[in-house]
Amino acid sequence: MSTGPGKDEVDLHALHGGAYVEKFIRNEAAASRRFGTLLARIELHGGARVLDVGCGSGALCVALSGRICEYDGVDFSAPFIDAARERASRLGIQGCRFHYADAIAFIDSQGPVFDLIFALDLSEHVPDAEWAGMVAAFRRGLKEGGQVLLHTPNRDFIIERMKQRNILFHQFPEHVAVRTRAENAAFFTNVGFSCVRCEFFPHYNFLRILHPASRLPLVGKYLAARLVLVATR
């Protein structure tokens, strides 16, 4: 992730250190079940070059193995990159590279070479100013017609609203910027993405039982746990 200098940068790195990585990996199997449904939102082809921003321990690389040409994963957490490299080596996955780097700097070093950029469970970890810069970088890094796929919590979801008010639930300290559907879409339209579609998406734990009610008028947005956004350059 890209972060600003000074205290905010130190705090974000501390929040995503070894303890967070261990917790993330313990819960990864449940979270990764959504990959099939997420990947159905976009077109994958064997010649695609993919960038996974905030790649974590490389779970998406495993899901994409054999379906694309090249995969680059970038993360600002060294323990995550170590875990991702170990996993890819252990599984014998070819055509993948993992980078311990600032996302914006990495994208700008590559140029417009990516067909797809994934930002899964990333944006809620990044404050507004930094996220705006990252979204602009996504556009610079995509080929014409390339796409970004974003997956993130929905700030309007009833549980998220309770977290905001410290009613029964407490927000994860790493989730510094959970946003609504409109707020998420605005970041992409503001930097010139030609087509932005954002839809509600079910939770991957027992809270998914609420998702059918997200289609209800007026109250549906409060019953949708997650958002999926696809933006086209």
Non-local (6+) Cβ contacts of 147 within 8 A are 42, 115, 116, 117, 230, 231, 232, 233
Residue 166 placed within a domain: yes
Strands laid side by side in the 70-75 sheet? 96-100, 70-75, 49-53, 114-120, 142-153, 226-232, 195-201
Structural domain harbouring 222? 7-232
* CATH code assigned at 167: 3.40.50.150
Contact 184, 227 (CB under 8 A): yes
Q: Which stretches of 111-205 are DSSP H helices?
A: 128-141, 158-164, 181-189
Would residue 28 count as lying in a domain?
Answer: yes
**Is the separation of the CB atoms in 69 and 49 below 8 Å?**
yes
Does any domain span residue 1?
A: no
Q: Which of 30, 14, 133, 33 is nearest to 76 (CA)?
A: 14
Cα-based torsion angle of the residue sequence 191, 114, 3, 41 in order, rounded to the nearest 10 degrees: 70
Q: What domain count does the chain have?
A: 1
DSSP letter for 133, please. H
Q: Which helix (H) or strand (E) holds 91?
A: helix 78-91
Structural domain includes residue 50: yes
Q: Please indicate, yes or no, if residue 180 is contained in any of the structural domains.
A: yes
Question: Taking the model in full, what pTM does it have?
Answer: 0.87
For every one of its 233 residues, what pLDDT tens digit does the chain have, with 9 covering 90 and above? 333 333 344 455 555 555 666 666 666 666 677 788 899 999 898 999 999 999 999 999 999 999 999 999 999 989 899 999 999 999 999 999 999 999 999 999 999 999 999 999 999 999 999 999 999 999 999 999 999 999 999 999 999 999 999 999 999 888 999 999 999 999 999 999 999 999 999 988 888 899 999 999 999 999 999 999 999 99
Give domain status of residue 2, yes or no.
no
